[in-house]
Amino acid sequence: MGSEATRRILKVLAGYVVGGWAVRGLGQWLAGVLALPPLFDRLLWGGLVLGLPVALLVAWRYPSIGRHGERGP
């Protein structure tokens, strides 16, 4: 794996962590406001955990996604 691919995957990982942190905070707030059951929290965590490998796989497999101004392969 080249350094460009490694940088891309690390950028996706960092973005996913920041986005997941924001989604988690919003989910906690929403659960409090709407008095949602504890199952909501578990489903939210499960979705975030299962989404991480999918996001990394897409970043690794499809390098042209998200590049602006460049043509794909």
Over residues 7-59, the pLDDT tens digits come to: 889 999 999 999 999 999 999 999 999 999 999 999 999 999 999 999 999 98
User: How would you class 7 by CB atoms within 10 Å of its CB: exposed for 0-12, middle for 13-18, buried for 19 or more?
Assistant: exposed
Q: How far apart are CA 30 and CA 36, in angstroms?
A: 8
Q: What is the pLDDT of residue 69?
A: 56
Q: What is the pLDDT of residue 42?
A: 95
Does residue 71 surpass a pLDDT of 70?
no
Q: What is the pLDDT of residue 38?
A: 93
Contacts of 70 (CB under 8 A, 6+ apart): 64
Q: Where are the domains of the chain?
A: 9-61
Indicate the pTM of the whole model.
0.78
Q: What is the pLDDT of residue 65?
A: 73
DSSP-derived secondary structure letter, 69: S
